[in-house]
Structure 1
Amino acid sequence: MGDVAKDLAAGTVGGVANLIVGHPFDTIKVKLQSQPTPAPGHLPKYAGAVDAVKQTIAAEGPRGLYKGMGAPLATVAAFNAVLFTVRGQMEALLRSEPGHPLTVKQQVVAGAGAGVAVSFLACPTELIKCRLQAQSALAEAAAASGVALPKGPIDVAKHVVREAGTKGLFKGLVPTMGREVPGNAVMFGVYEATKQYLAGGQDTSNLGRGSLILAGGLAGAAFWLSVYPTDVVKSVIQVDDYKKPRYSGSVDAFKKILAADGVKGLYKGFGPAMARSVPANAATFVAYEITRSALG
């Protein structure tokens, strides 16, 4: 099996692990990000992450925490295959000689390149996922227009295409790239730096699973710490109405979030995102490394 095929297989396994572990946290993050600013004197729909979990389970049962999972599950193979395969190919280009480990700086470059590639897959997938996860916030607008809310990923995709054409699936591409490119650069850089620190040098091949879990968890946390406000902008744009949008673009969304909620508005849902990042990314990297190693 060639290196590309190995990266494809290992990336897929890593992505599935990430999704199973992290999706409930992601659902709560999006619900908090997309809830509208309450009118003066009124309380927000969700008081916080714990309240969002309680309301979601009360209204939809535990399955509500996995709402929107169909879209990323259907594309997780392609997304993670591209992420790890492009990263692997960039590693090959940057490597001074076959088998020689890359420096942290080189891993940052490889991660950024992988981020560019996956943005075009992430954008439509994230749009469908976010619109499903945020349906409670969209319910009033749908009721007012007499339009029933879509019931699943395919239904959401059809609805978006009817509303805005195929290009509507790529709404929020700019902030998606603004998240994926620097986010993956930081994530892979931190992952490699942590592994080399724990190994005491560039040869990290003998690290145990505990070290990989630690490195993967720190890498995931670094991803969200570096790009979280961009993710908030992406989410509000992707759940915005197509015919009567509140935001004209990323800059407009950024300004309006600041005007309505201040800097804290750019960190709505930050708690669930960070709570998710450590176990989900630890699972991703460990699953990837174990699968890649098993394939030789």
Structure 2
Amino acid sequence: MEAAEPATAPQLALADTDINWDRLDKTKFHMIGAILFTVQSALLHPTAVVKTRMQVAAGSRGMSVFSHILRSDGIPGIFRGFGTSAVGSVPGRILALTSLEVSKDIILKHTQGTHIPEASRVGLANGVAGLVSNLVSCVYFVPLDVICQRLMVQGLPGTTFCRGPLDVVRKVVEAEGFRGLYRGFGLTALTQSPASALWWGSYAAAQHLIWRSLGYKDDTGNKPSHMEMVTVQATAGMVAGACSSVITTPIDTVKTRLQVMDNYGSGRPSVLKTAKTLLKEDGWWGFYRGFGPRFLNMSLYGTTMIVTYELIKRLSVQSSLKSFT
């Protein structure tokens, strides 16, 4: 009986469901992450295209936009900008994931031994890590967003036609200089960073609340199975994504229009000009243009991203653990 015990698959203690940076094989973590996140992005990219076009074109509805794209451009139309996004996102994801994991690990270590409840401590660490990660990655991702979104809205009124990503860069730099690639940077950094903190914090908090409701605690012998762990993490990710979409859609609508539209008259486009134009066109509801696809995108993204993210960590930690056996 004793000889058979090592062959039994180990169960995870509740505290082990959050794998820290020190336990990861960094090379494997980033390689697996690049592959799985690219696949995930491909599955969700059509919702991003529909959402972006709805935010730019007045009076458009999700299904009508989707149908129009398919009729005029076919399947390639709903994947506009994906090639640029997929290739360009790899260095950005490495930057974002590294800053996320390192900053989370630092906060967890500095709060270890305090009187903060474990759920609150993990939620705080995830929230701060999300804030830091977003601030760092904005420097890379804002120009990429400008390029990809301009490719997504080709042909809509108020937009400039470009033959590809390099042509987008050339025309933007010619018209506004290098800073044109950073349209919306301040709005993105000041608003999406707290939103990222909200997402990661609410994900961690939701996960711990679900675990507690199921009767799991750090100091008990009751341990979750891998299937339970995936289900709980996916549910927590979906809740976090849905909450974030409700709060951040107005900001995202203004940011998207600011980054892709050029017909605001004299002077450089600004947040104020963009918001005033949007308010004039559709009233306050205009700030929720594209909410349906964005809600769907962020809910699905929250679910699939967190499952992918946690899977990457579990696959990456295995090689680290094997080296100790």
Please give the range of the TM-score, normalised by the shorter of the 2 chains.
0.7 to 0.9
| TM-score normalised by L of structure 2 | 0.77
Partner amino acid, structure 2, of 1:20: A
CA positional deviation for 1:152:
2.0
Q: Counterparts in 2 of 1:180-199, with a 5 A limit? A: 180-199=192-211
| CA–CA distance in structure 1, aligned partners of residues 188 and 107 of structure 2 | 25
Q: Mean Cα displacement is larger for which, 158-167 or 6-15?
A: 6-15
Q: Is 1:62 matched up with 2:75?
A: yes
- The residue aligned with 1:24 is 46
| 1:247-295 Cα deviation digits (max 9, x unpaired) | 6411232233223321111000000111111222322111111111111
Partner amino acid, structure 1, of 2:138: S
Partner amino acid, structure 1, of 2:84: A
Partner amino acid, structure 2, of 1:219: A
Give aligned-pair identity as a percent.
Answer: 22
Residue from 156, 164, 176 that aligns with 1:164: 176
Residue from 107, 110, 128 that aligns with 2:129: 110
Which is greater in Rg?
2
Q: Mean Cα displacement is larger for which, 74-83 or 9-18?
A: 9-18
Q: Counterparts in 2 of 1:110-259, with a 5 A limit? A: 110-138=129-157, 149-200=161-212, 207-241=228-262, 244=265, 248-259=269-280
Provide the aligned length of Structure 1 versus Structure 2: 280
| 1:82-135 Cα deviation digits (max 9, x unpaired) | 222111111121113699974212321221111111111221111111111111
| Contact preservation (8 Å) 1:17, 1:280 | no
Q: Mean Cα displacement is larger for which, 284-293 or 236-245?
A: 236-245
| Contact preservation (8 Å) 1:229, 1:267 | yes
- The residue aligned with 2:92 is 79
Compared with structure 1, are the counterparts of its residues 3 and 227 closer, same or farther at alpha carbon in structure 2 (3 Å cutoff)? farther
| CA–CA distance in structure 2, aligned partners of residues 194 and 17 of structure 1 | 26
- In the alignment, structure 1 segments of 5+ residues that lack a partner are 38-43, 143-148
CA positional deviation for 1:198:
2.1
Q: Mean Cα displacement is larger for which, 278-287 or 6-15?
A: 6-15
Partner amino acid, structure 2, of 1:269: G
Compared with structure 1, are the counterparts of its residues 11 and 125 closer, same or farther at alpha carbon in structure 2 (3 Å cutoff)? same
| TM-score normalised by L of structure 1 | 0.84
- In the alignment, structure 2 segments of 5+ residues that lack a partner are 1-22, 318-325
| Contact preservation (8 Å) 1:33, 1:269 | yes
Partner amino acid, structure 1, of 2:250: P
